Every structure is written in structure tokens, then in C-alpha cells.
Structure 1
Amino acid sequence: MGCCSARCMLIILCCLQLITALERQAFDFLGYQWAPIMVNFLQVVMVILGLFGAIQYRSRYVVMYLLWTLLWLGWNVFVCCLYLDLGGLSKDSDTLTLGISSHRSWWKENGPACDLDSLPSDGWTNQQNPQLTTVLRCWLEYQYIEVLHCTVQLLVSLLGFVHACYVVNAFADDDDNFNFNPEFHHPSKPFQLLF
């Protein structure tokens, strides 16, 4: 197989998936979002298995990667729907934190170009809850950053799925065409034994 083969592309896509999954894992740890932390960990493990399968010509590992990719695609669609409040889901629910903590996305307070502005009324400054005294203005709201993360994962995973299907098919073709001992199975001499 050449350098630009489907196997080579699958290896590159798996490496890209590892990088993006680890980046996402870091920000989910910062936000104490336990459900994404567990799913991202499984993503890292399955991508490593797929990478190993592609490098070592092991179709079973690539098939495991394929099956996991279907679940991963579903998870990312779910997270997109959650952050966009689609289908009865709400980004303010405790779904991603599993009800263990009250934390939310790390990007909510730390988004790009976020500024804290005080409310104009001085009456609000005497409140006990500091969230009432400030307004957060961001260049890009946190839910769109999370949806952007999911979209990147969806695109890379779809490409990986297509290339993995092709690689599994190519591995199966190679297994079918493999002739262990060409002299023993020669069509003109079917029963010849080698001594």
C-alpha cells in the first residue's frame, strides 16, 4: 500500500482524533463534566486500538474502532443537541456532570474575549450572589464553542469511519488472496506433497 493509501489516511485521522479528544478531555476536566470525561476516555482507548489495528494490519481492532465510531458520532450529536437546547434537552441540566457537581462548561467563564461588566445599578452590588452583580460578555458564547468541538469531532470521525471501512475491506481482500504455500496449492498439481 502506498503512502496516500486509505490505511495511511486512517492512521493520520486516528492521530488527529487523539489530539482533538485529548484537548477536549482537558477542558472537560477543567469544567468537572464527568460524563464527557468518561466518554472521551473511551474515545482515546478505542482510537488507540484503531490506530494499532491500522498499523499492524489487524482488522478486528479496526472493526472495534468502526463500531465505537458509530457510538461516538451519536454522542457528539447528543452533546450538540444538549448545548443548542434541541429536542427537549437543556444546557442548564446536570446531564453532563451526572448531578455530582454544579460545574458547567469551562468555556462559560473562560471563553475567548470574555469581559465581566458590573451592572449599572448600585443596589445589585450589595447582593450575596456575585453572579448577580456581573454580566459576562463574550466574543463567542460557550455553547457555540462546545458545539464547535463536537462538529470537529463529527467531521474527523466521519472521515475516519469511511477510511476504516475501506481498510477493513482491503484487509479482508488481502486475507482472501493470501496463499500460504503456493507450491502445495498449485492448481495443476492438487495432491502433490513436498518432501
Structure 2
Amino acid sequence: MGCCSGRCLLILLCCVQLITAVERQVLDFLGYQWVPIMINFFYIIMVILGLFGAIQYRTRYILLYQLWSVLWIGWNVFVSCLYLDLGGLSKDSHILSLGVSSHHSWWKDNGPGCQGESFLSDGWQNPQNPELTTVPSCWLEYQYIEVLHCTVQLLISLLGLVYSCYVVGMFSEVEDSYYK
């Protein structure tokens, strides 16, 4: 097996997917976005299964990884449309937090270059109220950061899907030649 075989590249892609998924999971936890937290959790499990499938030559694990990759691609397209307000979706809705809280993307308040300014009246006693804090200047608005996250996930998932199809084909050829 060469260093640049399809199997090695699939293993590398799975490792990169795990790193980016854990990073995304942490940021979704910080923003209390419950639906992405649950979906990211299943995604991490499926990527680990795909990784094990590639390492242990298990076609069924890779097939499960492929199925989840297709669902993951659809999820990232949905999240991108949500943050770009496409197709009747709105980034201001509480879809991602299951409507149980008014929390939003962590990047909304903590994006690159964001400096929060609060507009509190003199009689206001609770400065922790998030409705009274605005973030007027950011280098990149939070919805575009979220869409960039989705785009990176889409590209890695598409590459993983292509290489997993190649690896499954390669494993099938090896199994067919073994039984002949």
C-alpha cells in the first residue's frame, strides 16, 4: 500500500473531519445551539466509524459513513441557507436552539474584530442583559463565518464521499479476487 493510496487519503480526511467537527461542536456548545450539537455528535460517531472502516478494511462501516456524509452535506446546505436567509429561512429564528432559549451563534458576539458596546441607561442595574449589548463593528459578520464553516465541512465531506466510494470499490475488488 502506497503512502498516497485512496485508503490513506480517506484516513487523513476522516482525521481532518474529526478535528473540524470537534471545533464546530465546541462553538455550538458555547452558543447553546442544541440541534447542531446533536447532529454534530452523530457526525463525529459516523466519522469515527468511517475511520475504523478504512483502517480495518470494513466495507459496511464505510458504507454507513457514506450514507451519513450525504445527510451531512444536506445539513450543511440547510445551515448555509438558514444563515444567508435563503428559501424563506431566517437566521433570527430559534430553529437551531429548539426554541428553548434565545441563544444564537457564538460568533455573533465573539467574531474576529468584534467589540461590544453597551448602551445602558444610568438607572439600569443589570449590565448582563444581552438585549442591551450590541456589536457594531466586526471584520466579518457572524453569518458569513457560519457559512464558511459549512463550506469547509461541505468540501471535506465531498472529498471524503468520493474517496470512500473509491475505497469501497477497491475493497470489493480485493474481496472478489480473494474468493476466485
1: CA distance between counterparts of 2:133 and 2:37?
32
Q: Percent identity?
A: 69
> Which runs of 4 or more aligned residues in structure 1 lie more than 3 Å from their structure 2 counterparts after TM superposition?
124-135
- The equivalent of 2:100 in structure 1 is 100
Structure label with greater radius of gyration? 1
What is the CA-CA distance between 1:101 and the residue it aligns to? 1.2
Structure 1 residue 100, shift from structure 2 partner: 1.2
Aligned ranges for residues 82-97 of structure 1 at < 5 Å? 82-97=82-97
The answer on whether the counterparts of 1:116 and 1:136 sit within 8 Å (CA) in structure 2 is yes
Does 2:72 correspond to 1:72?
yes
Q: Which runs of 5 or more structure 1 residues have no equivalent in the other structure?
A: 181-195
Are the structure 2 counterparts of residues 26 and 135 from structure 1 closer, same or farther at C-alpha, using a change threshold of 3 Å?
A: closer
What residue in structure 2 maps to residue 192 of structure 1?
A: none
* Aligned-residue offset at 1:146: 0.5
- The runs of 5 or more residues in structure 2 that have no matched partner are none
State the one-letter code of the partner of 1:173: E
* Matching residue of 2:49: 49
- How far apart, in 2, do the equivalents of 1:49 and 1:20 lie? 16
TM-score (ref. length: structure 2): 0.92
Paired residue for 1:125? 121
Distance in 2, matches of 1:24 and 1:64, equals 22
Corresponding position of 2:149: 149
Partner of 2:32: 32
**Secondary structure, aligned partner of 1:14:** helix
Answer yes or no: is 1:81 the counterpart of 2:81: yes
Distance apart, 1:135 and its partner CA: 4.6
Q: Deviations over 1:122-160 (max 9, x none)?
A: xx7358676446452111111011001000000000000
C-alpha separation between the residues in 2 aligned to 1:134 and 1:177? 65
CA contact (8 A) 1:49 1:61 kept: yes
Instruction: Determine if contact 1:125/1:133 at 8 Å carries over to the other structure.
Output: no
Is the CA contact 1:127–1:133 (under 8 Å) kept in the aligned structure 2? no
Q: Distance in 2 between matches of 1:26 and 1:133?
A: 23
TM-score of the pair, normalised by structure 1: 0.85
Q: 2:34 and 2:105 mapped to 1: Cα distance?
A: 11
| Residue number in structure 1 paired with 2:10 | 10
C-alpha distance in structure 1 between counterparts of 2:109 and 2:89, whole Å: 22
